[in-house]
Structure 1
């Protein structure tokens, strides 16, 4: 059978806590990002961009997340604060996928948002096809204005998600999938 079909049949998200190293090297990551950007993009607007968190940048991101968490949760216990501080430390690489719609007379914002979702999925599939585990997450800090800005968002931008990329400590279990009879209608 086609290896792409086989890979898609077995694709699973791996929680960042279950990830290990190594992550992609510079050339592998560049390939993943180039493939991620090969999505439908009506008007060639590129209504998305990437922020790569790797190496020490992951710890700096954790400090930003913790600062915003502390502001919203004074007196939180140290174990919870440690969870927030380590958000980006489990996977060797985390890619923030940024939605940045462009005002355009013919291309609706909705189509641009769909394009950024396709970028996230292409990145996930490219990384999986190259043998890496992935998890596409948003989490609260995607929507916290102070945290999102400190993590690199510009005015008018939103995080579509953070794609965590690394190895896996084991084969992830599948989750129940919807029955096609419940989600397919014919016109």
Structure 2
């Protein structure tokens, strides 16, 4: 099997609790973001944007999200508060996944969301070569990111991508066979 097939087939969610406490070098983050930048995009709108949180920025993000959770949640859970607050510090880096909507709205919004998802998938596929794992989280809290960092007009956060070093065994998953998901239509 080829390296690209291995990378695609081994892609899976690896959660912050599984990360080894180790920062990710900026050069690797830039390689991953460059891969994201090569995602398909209809009418070349290139709607993906990223805010990269490292170092103290991760802790600040966790504090902001936890306090926002406390503020907006009627059925507050101290365990969930603590998880929201500490998960960012477990990650080697966090990418806020931002969609920049084409101001002219030349294409449907779902196509721009799909392009952003393709950009994230490019990152995800490349993680294995660096012994990294990743997890895309889309909490309701992401809509408040503009209160913590500046977002431009037509931008909205659609999730957070947590990245961290992990053991190879944490990155392997078994999928149900493709044969169970395909119908062949022939003349």
Give TM class, smaller chain. 0.7 to 0.9
Deviations 1:65-92 (A, max 9, x none): 1111111236845443222211311111
Tell me what 2:155 maps to.
Answer: 157
Alignment check: 8 A CA contact 1:23 1:165 kept: no
Tell me what 1:100 maps to.
Answer: 100
**C-alpha RMSD of the superposition:** 2.4
Which of 176, 183, 186 does residue 185 from structure 1 map onto? 183
Count of matched residue pairs: 184
TM-score, normalised on structure 2? 0.85
Q: Which is worse superposed, 126-135 or 29-38?
A: 126-135
Alignment check: 8 A CA contact 1:120 1:161 kept: no
CA distance in 1, matches of 2:117, 2:99: 9
**What is the CA distance between 1:162 and its match in structure 2?**
1.5
Deviations 1:120-150 (A, max 9, x none): 11111122233211112212312xx4x3222
CA distance in 1, matches of 2:17, 2:29: 21
Unaligned runs of 5+ in 1: none
Unaligned runs of 5+ in 2: none
